[in-house]
Amino acid sequence: MTSMLRRWALPVLAATISFNAAAADYPVKPITLVIGFTAGGPTDAVGRYLARKLETELGQTIVVENRPGANGVVAVQAVKRAAADGYTLMLGSSGTLSIEPVYKQKVDYQVLKDFQPIALVASYPYLLVVPADSPFKTVPELIAGARQKPGALTFASAGSGAVNHLAGEWFKSASKVDITHIPYKGDSAAIADLVAGRVDMAFLSAIAAMPQVQAGKMRALGVAAAEPSSVAPGVPTVAESAGIPGFTAEPWNGVLAPAGVPPAVTQRLNAAINKVMSTEESREALLKLGQYPMTGSPEDFARHISTQTERWAQVMQTSHIAKAD
Q: Which helix (H) or strand (E) holds 93?
A: strand 88-93
- Indicate whether 6 belongs to any domain: no
Residue finishing a domain among 242, 276, 292 = 242
Residue finishing a domain among 189, 212, 242 = 242
Q: Is the domain of 130 the same as that of 120?
A: no
Residue finishing a domain among 242, 269, 294 = 242
Q: What is the mean pLDDT of the chain?
A: 90
Q: Is the domain of 55 the same as that of 202?
A: no
pLDDT value at residue 22? 56
Neighbour tally for 62: CB within 10 Å: 21
Q: What is the pLDDT of residues 182-194, one digit of tens each?
A: 999 878 889 999 9
- Indicate whether 137 belongs to any domain: yes
Averaged over 146-155, what is the pLDDT?
A: 96
Residue 222 phi/psi, 5° resolution?
-165, 160
Q: Is the domain of 69 the same as that of 130?
A: no
Enter the pTM of the model. Answer: 0.84
Cis peptide before 27 (omega within 30 of 0): yes
Q: Cα separation of 22 and 28, whole Å?
A: 9
Q: Is the domain of 260 the same as that of 120?
A: yes
Q: Cα separation of 90 and 68, whole Å?
A: 12
How would residue 178 be classed by pLDDT, with cut points 50, 70 and 90? very high
Q: What is the pLDDT of residues 237-247, one digit of tens each?
A: 999 999 999 99
- Indicate whether 42 belongs to any domain: yes
Q: Is the domain of 146 the same as that of 208?
A: yes
pLDDT value at residue 21? 53
Query: b or e along 87-106 (b: 16 or more beta carbons within 10 Å of the residue's beta carbon)?
Result: bbbbbbbbbbbbbbbbbbee
pLDDT value at residue 106? 73
Q: Is the domain of 183 the same as that of 138?
A: yes
pLDDT value at residue 160? 85
pLDDT exceeds 60 at position 166: yes
- Indicate whether 23 belongs to any domain: no
Q: Is the domain of 166 the same as that of 64?
A: no
Q: What is the pLDDT of residues 89-128, one digit of tens each?
A: 999 999 999 998 988 757 889 999 999 999 999 999 999 9
- Indicate whether 11 belongs to any domain: no
Domain that holds residue 178: 126-242
Q: Which of 8-17, 81-90, 157-166, 201-210 has the highest mean pLDDT?
A: 81-90
Count of domains in the chain?
Answer: 2
Query: Angle at which helices 298-318 and 163-175 pack, to 10 degrees?
Result: 50
> Please, which contacts does 19-23 make with residues 24 or more away whose CB atoms are closer than 8 Å?
19/262, 20/262, 20/264, 22/85, 22/262, 23/86, 23/262, 23/263, 23/264, 23/265, 23/268
Averaged over 278-295, what is the pLDDT?
A: 93
CATH of the domain at 172: 3.40.190.10
CATH of the domain at 47: 3.40.190.150
